Amino acid sequence: MNRIRVLFFATLRQRVGTKEIELEVPEALDVRGLMQRLAGEFPALQSSLGTVLVSINREYAFEEALIPLNAEIALFPPVSGG
């Protein structure tokens, strides 16, 4: 198993009710799998998870990226402006 830290920012933090959590996840888990798990554990996040920006150890990542051991995952809502 892989122990990771997940950080939530802005509106995501409000929906979860905390700024970070620690999770035990399988070693071969990708970002897509993590999003599915978070949607199950935090139903209030479901509507946002399709558009969040994800970073792994402070580098942006895509859905197919594998999560390394002891990673720090950060989730950011999309930013818009003009």
- Each of the 82 residues of the chain gets a pLDDT tens digit; together they read 999 999 999 999 999 999 999 999 999 999 999 999 999 999 999 999 989 999 999 999 999 999 999 999 999 998 765 5
Helix (H, G, I), strand (E, B) or coil at 68: coil
pLDDT at 6: 98
Query: Is 82 within the bounds of a domain?
Result: no
Domains contained in the chain, number: 1
Query: Is 66 within the bounds of a domain?
Result: yes
The whole model's pTM is what? Answer: 0.92
Contacts 24+ apart (CB under 8 A), 64-69: 64/30, 64/31, 64/32, 65/30, 65/31, 66/28, 66/29, 66/30, 67/2, 67/4, 67/25, 67/29, 67/30, 67/31, 67/34, 68/2, 69/2, 69/27
Query: Is 81 within the bounds of a domain?
Result: no
- Domain with residue 48: its CATH number is 3.10.20.30
Query: Is 8 within the bounds of a domain?
Result: yes
Query: Is 49 within the bounds of a domain?
Result: yes
Q: Which domain holds residue 36?
A: 2-76
